[in-house]
Structure 1
Amino acid sequence: MRISTFFGLGTAALLAAAPAHAEKGDVLVRVRALMVAPTEKSGPVTPSFPGAHVAVNNSYAPELDFTYMVTNHIGTELILATTKHHVSGRGSLDSLGRLAGTWVLPPTLTAQYHFAPQAKIRPYVGAGINYTIFYSEKSSDALDAAIGQTKVRLKDSVGYAVQAGLDFDLTSKIFANIDVKYIDIDTTARLTTGSTVNRVRVSLDPIVVGVGLGMRF
Structure 2
Amino acid sequence: MKKKLKFAAAVAALAMSGTAIAGAPDGKIQVKALATLVAPDGKITSVELDNIGLPAGTQTEADDNFVPTIAAEYFFTPNISLETICCVTQHDVTGTGPLDGAGLVSNANIIPATLTAKYHFGDGSGFKPYIGAGPTYFIFIDEKAGDTAQALGATRQKMNDKVGFALQAGFDLPINDNGLGLSVDAKRYFVNTTARWFAGNTEVLRTRHRIDPWVVSAGLAYRF
TM bracket, shorter-chain basis: 0.7 to 0.9
Given the alignment of the two structures, is residue 216 of structure 1 paired with residue 223 of structure 2, yes or no? yes
Asked which structure has the greater CA Rg, the reply is: 1
Find the residue that maps to 2:124 and give its secondary structure: coil
Which amino acid letter does the alignment assign opposite residue 124 of structure 1? Y
Given the alignment of the two structures, is residue 82 of structure 1 paired with residue 84 of structure 2, yes or no? no
Q: 1:104 aligns with which of 110, 114, 136?
A: 110
Find the residue that maps to 2:142 and give its secondary structure: strand
What's the CA shift for 1:40? 3.5
Find the residue that maps to 2:169 and give its secondary structure: strand
Find the residue that maps to 1:42 and give its secondary structure: strand
Sequence identity (%): 36
Given the alignment of the two structures, is residue 116 of structure 1 paired with residue 116 of structure 2, yes or no? no
Find the residue that maps to 1:148 and give its secondary structure: coil
Which amino acid letter does the alignment assign opposite residue 45 of structure 2? G
Given the alignment of the two structures, is residue 150 of structure 1 paired with residue 155 of structure 2, yes or no? yes
What's the CA shift for 1:197? 1.8
Given the alignment of the two structures, is residue 34 of structure 1 paired with residue 41 of structure 2, yes or no? no
What's the CA shift for 1:43? 3.0
Which stretches of structure 1, 4 residues or longer, exceed 6 Å deviation after superposition?
Answer: none
Distance across 2 between alignment mates of 1:105 and 1:35: 14
What's the CA shift for 1:97? 2.1
Which amino acid letter does the alignment assign opposite residue 97 of structure 2? G
Q: Deviations over 1:178-208 (max 9, x none)?
A: 0000011110100012435201110110110
Given the alignment of the two structures, is residue 183 of structure 1 paired with residue 185 of structure 2, yes or no? no
Distance across 1 between alignment mates of 2:210 and 2:147: 25
Q: TM-score, normalised by structure 1?
A: 0.84
Q: Is the 8 A contact 2:36 2:68 kept in 1?
A: yes
Gap regions ≥5 residues in structure 1: 1-18
Q: Deviations over 1:135-154 (max 9, x none)?
A: 1111123331x212421000
Distance across 1 between alignment mates of 2:167 and 2:154: 39
Distance across 1 between alignment mates of 2:220 and 2:158: 36
What's the CA shift for 1:90? 2.1
- Name which of structure 1's ranges 112-121 and 53-62 shifts more when overlaid on structure 2: 112-121
Q: Is the 8 A contact 1:20 1:120 kept in 2?
A: no
- Name which of structure 1's ranges 65-74 and 186-195 shifts more when overlaid on structure 2: 186-195
CA root-mean-square deviation:
1.9
What's the CA shift for 1:69? 0.1
Gap regions ≥5 residues in structure 2: 1-22
Aligned to 2:214: 207
Which amino acid letter does the alignment assign opposite residue 193 of structure 1? A
Q: Deviations over 1:30-54 (max 9, x none)?
A: 0100001113431355423162221
Which amino acid letter does the alignment assign opposite residue 216 of structure 2? V
